[in-house]
Amino acid sequence: MAPILVTAQSTYSGSPASSMVEKYTSEVIEKVVEWRRDFHQYPELSNREFKTAEKVAAHLVSLGLEVKTGIAKTGVVGILRGTSGGPVVALRADMDALPVTERVDIPFASMIKTTFLGQEVGVMHACGHDSHIAILMGAAEVLTRMRDEIEGTIVFIFQPAEEGAPPGEEGGAKLMVEEGVLRDNNVDVIFGLHINSQTEAGQIRYRPEGTMAAADRFVIKVHGKQTHGSMPWGGIDPITISAQIIIGLQTIVSRQVALTDAAAVISVGKIQAGVRNNIIPESAEMVGTIRTLDPKMQKIIHEKIRHTATKIAESAGATVDVDIQIAVPVTYNDPELTRAMLPTLFATAGEENVIVRPAVTGAEDFSFYALEVPGLFFFLGGMPIGMNPLDAAPHHTPDFYLDESGFDIGVKALANLALDYIEANK
C-alpha cells in the first residue's frame, strides 16, 4: 500500500490541474444532470440494475476505459490507467433504488412498478443513488480527459445492492470485495460520497473515524410451554417473557454500557407468536436491529443481548435461541487519510462549506471497502439553499427530493481527491 501523506495544503489547489477539473466539470455537468434524471425515471431494485449497468458500461467504454461487467451480479468497474504506475485510487457509487412509490411532482418522476417480496410496489431512487451514479460518471469523464496528467490508476466502482440483496441472494459491497474488486486492482485507498437531502447544496459534511453505524440483525426465539389461555399457570407464556426481554434490551444501552463512549441503538421491529386469542403458544419470536458506532461497543452489546435474553427466559422456566447476524460494519473514515485529504475538500467547496457532522445511526455498506483499505466517505448537500432541514423529506420516503445545483461539487470533489492522493503519493 502506498503511504498516506498528510499535506499542509491541497496539492492541486490553484494549480493548472485544479483549473482543468473546474473547466471540464463545467463542460460535463449538464450531462450529469441528464444522466441523473434518466436513472431517476427508470430505477431498478437491488441486484436488478440491468439497464442501469448497461448505461454505465456504455459510457465508460465510450471514454476508452478498461471495463468489466457482471461483478457481484450487476456491478460495473472502469479502470483508467495514467502515464505510469503509482498509487491506485478507487471511487465508488451505488446504483440501486428502493421499493417506494414516488409522490414528488417532477417531470422525470418514476412510474415504475414491480413485484417485491410478493407485493406490487413502486420503485424510486428515494436515497439519491441516481445522483451518485451520474456524479461518478461525470468524474470519470473529467479524469479521462486528464489522463496525461495522472501518474497512477483510478478505479471507478459502480456497485449494486447497497440497500441489501433480496432474501436468499448475496450482493452489495461485501460481494464486490469477495470477488476481488479491490484485491485484483491493487487498490490503495477508496473514496465515496452520499447525497443528503437535509444538507444544503454546495456543502460537504464529514466525520473522522466512525461516521455511520454498524447494522446488525438479531432474532430471539423464546421456547415456552403451550396451554389454554384461561389457565396460564399450566404452561410457560413466551409472549409475556418476550415482553420482559424487550424491556430488558432497552436497559442495555441506557444502564449497562458507557453511553458517552459511543452511541448505540437496540430496536425490536417485529414480534410474532400464536394463532388465536385463547391459546398461549409454545414459542414467540422477535426480530430487531442493533446500531453501533464502535467495534468494541458492538461486541459488548452483542454479549449483553445474549445474556439478558437468556437470563430473563430462565427466570420464567423458558429457553431462548439468540441469533445475531453482522450485516454491515461501521463505516469508518481512516483518520490519517481524512486529515490528508481535508485540504482537497476545502479547496473544492470552500473551507466554510466543509463541516464536521455528528455520527449517524444509518448504515452504509461502503464500510466493507474501508475494512480492506483506508477509506473516506463524505456527504454532499442536496437540499435547496435556505430551506429548513426539518422541512426536507428524509431519505427512503415518497417525498424525497434533491436540488441538483450542488452536483458539480460532487464531481469536482471525487476528481480532486483522486488527483491529489496520486500526486502526493506517487
Residues 111, 98 share a domain: yes
Catalytic site residue from 44, 49, 94, 96: 96
pTM above 0.85, yes or no: yes
* Cα three-residue angle 163-169-171, rounded to 5 degrees: 45
Q: Which residues, 6 or more positions from 421, have their beta carbon under 8 angstroms from its beta carbon?
A: 87, 89, 188, 189, 191, 340, 341
| Domain contains 3 | no
b/e burial code for range 412-422 (CB count within 10 A of at least 16 → b):
bbbbbbbbbbb
Residues 353, 224 share a domain: no
In the prediction, which pLDDT does 10 show? 47
- Over the stretch 190-227, which tens digit does the pLDDT of each residue have? 999 999 999 999 999 999 999 999 999 999 999 999 99
Give the confidence band of 260 by pLDDT, cuts at 50, 70, 90.
confident
Residues 415, 303 share a domain: no
Residues 165, 65 share a domain: yes
Kindly report the CATH number assigned to the domain that includes residue 146.
3.40.630.10
Residues 247, 185 share a domain: no
Catalytic site residue from 102, 141, 149, 162: 162
Q: Which residues, 6 or more positions from 249, have their beta carbon under 8 angstroms from its beta carbon?
A: 266, 268, 288, 305, 308, 309
Domain count, the chain: 2
Q: Is 162 a catalytic residue?
A: yes
- Over the stretch 325-354, which tens digit does the pLDDT of each residue have? 988 999 999 999 999 999 999 999 999 999
Could you tell me the residue range of the domain that residue 305 belongs to? 214-328
In the prediction, which pLDDT does 4 show? 54
| Domain contains 84 | yes
Query: Which residue, 309, 328, 347, sits at the end of a domain?
Result: 328
Locate 27 and state its grid cell: 463542460
Q: Give the count of beta carbons closer than 10 Å to the beta carbon of residue 125.
A: 26
Residues 356, 401 share a domain: yes
Kindly report the CATH number assigned to the domain that includes residue 288.
3.30.70.360
Residues 420, 348 share a domain: yes
| Domain contains 58 | yes
Reported as type and span, the H/E element at residue 413 is helix 407-425
Residues 227, 105 share a domain: no
Q: Is 96 a catalytic residue?
A: yes
Do 93 and 132 contact (CB within 8 A), yes or no? yes
